[in-house]
Amino acid sequence: MNTTLINTFDVVEKRLNPKLYDQLDKLKLEFVTYQRYLSNQVEEAIKNHSHEKIPAILRD
């Protein structure tokens, strides 16, 4: 095996569209908001012992 030859690739820096950054920020905010909402639902259900009513919680 010949290991004396090393191929390199030029890296071209590309900037993302600023609108794309805005869209990503909005998606992150939506995700965090929804995650917080679900967390609050689960916490409330556990406090009220009504976790049987939440379909996302699977019981054995």
pLDDT in tens, 9-50: 666 566 778 898 899 999 999 999 999 999 998 888 888 876
Q: Which residue has the tokens 């054995």?
A: 60
Query: Is residue 12 assigned to a domain?
Result: no
pTM for the full model?
A: 0.51
Query: Is residue 11 assigned to a domain?
Result: no
Amino acid at 28: K
Query: Is residue 1 assigned to a domain?
Result: no
Query: Is residue 36 assigned to a domain?
Result: yes
Amino acid at 3: T
Query: Is residue 39 assigned to a domain?
Result: yes
Domain that holds residue 47: 18-53
Nearest alpha-carbon partner for 39 in 56, 58, 52, 53? 56
CB contact set of 16 (below 8 Å; sequence gap of 6+): none
The pair of structure tokens assigned to 6 is: 């090393």
> How many structural domains are present in the chain?
1
